[in-house]
């Protein structure tokens, strides 16, 4: 679903990937490697679909600049003067909802969303994710970091729009 964005397309993609995997099952030499193997079949099927429809392969696009414009929630939440009498980062964690995270993850550019989904949601190692996406290990490392930064920025924007950071703003106003 994160790749196709539409449930019906996701079902078709999974069905085709399962058929391909079944046909190629003999090529899986190590049963312990089944999970990365099936993800790789799925990703390659997705790539074929996009190329067939004349689209750019979105999971392969995107700059891999490391350390550029990083955004970390902790830096926004934990301004030193607030720490004396409150615990803003804990307040934030109790307010943020699963749906907020789902929305933020879905909104990530595909190259970062795929890396985050494999490593954080599916629990793949960086090497497994690199093998699945067929990209260098250093690229997955930078995409996971950059994806995290973008995810945290999206959560911050949502928190501001939803007024979840209001308490902090009030404290700032009082302080100023």
Binding interface with another protein (CB under 8 A) = 73-74, 77-78, 89, 93, 96, 98, 101-102, 105, 116, 119-123, 125-126, 141, 144-145, 148, 151-152
| Min separation Cβ 166 and another protein, Å | 19
* Least distance in angstroms from the C-beta of 56 to another protein: 26
Complete DSSP assignment for the chain:
-TTTSSHHHHHHHHHHHHHHHHHTGGG---GGGHHHHHHHHHHHHHHHHHHHTT---GGG-S---TTSS---HHHHH--GGGGGT--HHHHHHHH--HHHHHHHHHTS-HHHHHHHIIIIIS---HHHHHHHHT--HHHHHHHHHHHHHHHHHHHHHHHHHHTTTHHHHHHHHHH-
Select 34 or 74, whichever has its Cβ closest to another protein. Answer: 74
Shortest gap between Cβ of 89 and another protein (angstroms)? 4
CB of 74 to another protein, least distance (A): 5
Quick one: 123 or 176, whose CB is closer to another protein? Answer: 123
* CB closer to another protein, 105 vs 111: 105
């Amino acid at each position: 679903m994160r790749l196709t964005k539409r449930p019906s397309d996701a079902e078709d993609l999974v069905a085709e990937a399962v058929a391909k995997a079944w046909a190629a099952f003999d090529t899986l030499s190590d049963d312990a490697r089944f999970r990365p193997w099936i993800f790789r079949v799925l990703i390659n099927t997705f790539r074929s679909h996009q190329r067939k429809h004349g689209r750019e392969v979105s999971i392969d696009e995107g700059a891999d600049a490391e350390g550029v414009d990083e955004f970390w929630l902790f830096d926004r939440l934990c301004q030193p003067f607030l720490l004396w009498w409150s615990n803003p980062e804990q307040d934030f964690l109790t307010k943020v909802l699963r749906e907020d995270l789902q929305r933020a993850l879905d909104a990530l550019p595909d190259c970062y969303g795929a890396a985050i989904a494999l490593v954080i949601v599916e629990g793949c190692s960086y090497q497994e994710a690199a093998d699945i996406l067929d990209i260098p290990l250093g690229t997955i490392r930078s995409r996971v970091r950059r994806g995290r930064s973008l995810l945290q920025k999206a959560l911050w924007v949502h928190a501001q729009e939803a007024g979840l950071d209001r308490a902090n703003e009030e404290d700032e106003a009082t302080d100023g």
